[in-house]
């Protein structure tokens, strides 16, 4: 992480330093997680003002703080080392930019409508086999998380992976001005944020900002099957494509799902057989993207294939958990869009279990007509072999309507995740503990809170087993 004198920080942000020029180690914007020797940067938001928590941060061990100069500085804080700045968020960006310039790591930016975090985690798993690698923690991919991620890098980091999210045009370009990526990868263009941007073309334009920011000598990895990304890259930027078509530079072939045991596929070229612990053709496609980046960085085919086989998914992102003999949970509760729903349902379909339960909630920010898209989701379920549906959230009736149109009769609906969790705990777990043979998919946009359902399933089956 950044370790520097306060004078370095003041110069980097164009601020006015007061007090001792002491050494700080690390940066935080959250007083609740503040640690010894950190620098505290108060951020002002719509519903909070970090300046109110400077005293708390100092009490937890922070050695200095920033302060927006137009705000009166309380007398009690003036004795502590501090830097007066214009705006906290701008100062955070400037400090991260300065530290990025000091690091000699090759920086990889990853964006896309779906699959950013999964691809980032998979790439980190692979690159750590060869390089001192830093990667975005969780999905800290916005104007706050990305600079904090950079400031957390060890100075001797060789390769850094940054997830880049956005909610509007120009935001990825702004992140790139801080990160200065050498390699850029786009997973796919889907419907996430369609409500905010209005069209898939506008989404593609926003994602392309990552590629547009690459320097001469940079490297871009793009999905071959996305016409909206067939554009001329910046001068001197090389492009590799991935996908399932024969036109892709790195092609996924011979994909085979093995249910809870994962999947196998071939990367062609070079004819590399890959064994994954996590099933799904979309996971294999992510693997092709990862292969392209790792090869660009000089890793050998066998080394990449072995590392891909070590990847495991994180909680809420298609994590597979055996709750009891014959009872499998697919915990994919973190996010959802029409594209990612279809991918998750494909994984559900390919499981060998006789009973396939889908606990599904709202897909947010997917644009109008939202109800029709949720009806279409319900209509698709029978084709994926779903035998039972629990629909949760604002659009639960639309999902139910579509499912019943497709002759799915075992349907329950709940307004909230808490209600659904209570129903499942009381009615589902006991029924299947004895006979098993069921797979349960839990998926919705994050705001629905379906992680409560996943937690209820875990807790209830654990209680039945006496754990």
Q: What angle do CA 83, 84, 86 make, to 5 degrees?
A: 135
Q: Is 335 annotated as a binding residue?
A: no
Report domain 103-308's class. alpha beta
Q: Is 88 annotated as a binding residue?
A: no
- Regarding the domain delimited by 3-86, which CATH topology (the fold level of the hierarchy) does it fall under? 3.40.1390
Query: Could you give the CA distance from residue 309 to residue 287 in angstroms, rounded to a whole number?
Result: 10
Residue with tokens 């956005």: 166
Angle between helices 171-179 and 88-102 (to 10 degrees): 40
Q: Is 132 annotated as a binding residue?
A: no
What does the pLDDT read at residue 464?
A: 75
Query: Could you give the CA distance from residue 97 to residue 175 in angstroms, rounded to a whole number?
Result: 10
Q: Is 217 annotated as a binding residue?
A: no
Q: Is 112 annotated as a binding residue?
A: yes
Contact between residue 288 and residue 251 where contact means Cβ atoms under 8 Å apart: yes
pLDDT digits (tens, 9 = 90+) for 446-463: 999 999 999 999 998 888
pLDDT digits (tens, 9 = 90+) for 289-341: 999 999 999 999 999 999 999 999 988 899 999 998 899 999 999 999 999 99
What does the pLDDT read at residue 83?
A: 99
Region 319-464: CATH code: 3.90.190.20
Q: Is 133 annotated as a binding residue?
A: no
pLDDT mean by block of 10 residues, the chain; 467 residues: 98 98 98 98 94 98 98 97 98 99 98 95 98 92 97 98 95 98 98 86 98 99 98 98 98 96 96 97 98 99 98 92 92 94 97 96 92 97 97 98 97 97 83 76 96 93 75
pLDDT digits (tens, 9 = 90+) for 221-252: 999 999 999 999 999 999 999 999 999 999 99
The domain spans of the chain are 3-86, 103-308, 319-464
Q: Is 427 annotated as a binding residue?
A: no
Query: Could you give the CA distance from residue 408 to residue 246 in angstroms, rounded to a whole number?
Result: 37
């Amino acid at each position: 992480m950044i370790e520097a004198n306060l004078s370095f920080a003041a110069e980097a942000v164009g601020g006015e330093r007061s007090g001792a020029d002491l050494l700080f180690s690390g940066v935080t914007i959250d007083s609740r997680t503040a640690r010894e020797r950190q620098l505290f940067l108060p951020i002002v938001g719509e519903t909070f003002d970090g300046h109110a928590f400077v005293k708390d941060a100092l009490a937890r061990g922070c050695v200095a703080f920033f302060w927006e100069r137009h705000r009166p500085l309380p007398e009690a804080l003036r004795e502590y080392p501090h830097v007066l700045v214009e705006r906290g968020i701008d100062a955070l960006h400037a400090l991260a930019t300065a530290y990025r310039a000091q690091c000699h790591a090759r920086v990889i930016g990853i964006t896309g409508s779906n699959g950013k975090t999964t691809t980032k985690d998979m790439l980190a798993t692979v690159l750590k086999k060869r390089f001192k690698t830093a990667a975005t923690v969780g999905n800290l991919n916005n104007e706050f998380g990305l600079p904090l991620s950079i400031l957390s890098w060890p100075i001797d980091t060789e390769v850094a992976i940054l997830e880049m999210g956005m909610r509007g045009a120009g935001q990825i370009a702004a992140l790139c001005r801080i990160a200065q990526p050498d390699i850029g990868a786009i997973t796919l263009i889907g419907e996430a944020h369609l409500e905010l941007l209005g069209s898939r073309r506008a989404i593609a334009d926003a994602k392309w900002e990552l590629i547009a920011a690459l320097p001469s000598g940079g490297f871009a990895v793009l999905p071959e099957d996305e016409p909206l990304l067939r554009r001329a890259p910046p001068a001197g930027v090389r492009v590799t494509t991935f996908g399932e078509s024969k036109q892709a530079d790195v092609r996924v072939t011979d994909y085979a799902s093995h249910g809870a045991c994962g999947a196998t596929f071939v990367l062609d070229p070079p004819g590399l057989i890959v064994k994954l612990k996590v099933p799904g053709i979309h996971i294999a496609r992510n693997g092709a993207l990862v292969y392209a980046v790792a090869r660009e960085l000089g890793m050998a085919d066998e080394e990449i294939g072995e590392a891909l086989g070590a990847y495991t998914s994180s909680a809420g992102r298609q994590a597979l958990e055996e709750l009891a003999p014959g009872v499998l949970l697919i915990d994919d509760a973190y996010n959802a869009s029409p594209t990612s729903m279809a991918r998750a349902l494909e994984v559900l379909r390919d499981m060998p279990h006789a009973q396939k339960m889908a606990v599904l909630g709202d897909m947010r920010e997917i644009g109008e007509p939202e109800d029709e898209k949720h009806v279409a989701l319900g209509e698709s379920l029978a084709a994926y072999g779903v035998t039972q549906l629990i629909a949760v959230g604002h659009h639960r009736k639309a999902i139910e309507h579509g499912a019943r149109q497709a002759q799915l009769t075992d349907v329950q609906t709940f307004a909230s995740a808490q209600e659904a969790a209570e129903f499942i705990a009381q009615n589902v777990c006991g029924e299947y503990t004895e006979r098993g043979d069921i797979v349960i998919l839990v998926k919705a946009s994050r705001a629905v809170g379906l992680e409560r359902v996943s937690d209820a399933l875990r807790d209830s089956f654990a209680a039945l087993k006496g754990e």
